[in-house]
Amino acid sequence: MSGTTAPSVERAPSRTADRWALAALAWTIAIGIVWLVVPTGSSGSTTVLSDGTVIEETANVTLLDNEGPGVLLVLAVPVLLAAISAAASRLRDARAVRFIAGGLLLVGCVLGAASVGLPYMPAALALLVAAGTTPIRKRPTDAT
């Protein structure tokens, strides 16, 4: 027998799938930052002074200003799902992990469509593409 070893049966992770998962992660981070810094509404106040002068003030507010720090948890969920999918690259069940993450993000997009959900749709689709392009890895059979 020669000193060479047989090639590994398990395939390396798909670079295409990994790129899709990383693109989804980058997208969710970018959209989360946009939601935090871009004004999403305005607030105003009117004051009438004793001499009859009316002072009106308006200010643009971000989602964080309007909803408070609790919105950070909501915005972290898509990033977490995409990060799990990107990190799943070398797992035996990477394909399933990516399908689950993409499916959950897609459900979140639909449920949050009236508020913050729709901009995350490209990331959900990218995660599903990553799942679809991730190679199926077969489990080793038991030798008992």
pTM, 2 dp? 0.77
Q: What's the CA gap between 66 and 131, in Å, rounded? A: 36
Confidence of residue 8 (pLDDT cuts 50, 70, 90): very low
Which of 86, 88, 76, 72 lies closest to 19 in space, CA to CA? 86
Confidence of residue 140 (pLDDT cuts 50, 70, 90): low
Non-local CB neighbours of 138 within 8 Å, separated by 6+ positions = none
The predicted structure's pLDDT at residue 7: 47
The predicted model gives 51-66 an average pLDDT of 87
Q: What's the CA gap between 104 and 98, in Å, rounded? A: 10
Please say if the pLDDT value at position 123 is more than 80: yes
Residue type, position 105, single letter: L
Residue type, position 24, single letter: A
Q: Are 119 and 74 in contact (CB under 8 A)?
A: no
The predicted structure's pLDDT at residue 70: 93
Q: What count of other Cβ atoms lies within 10 Å of the Cβ of residue 85?
A: 32
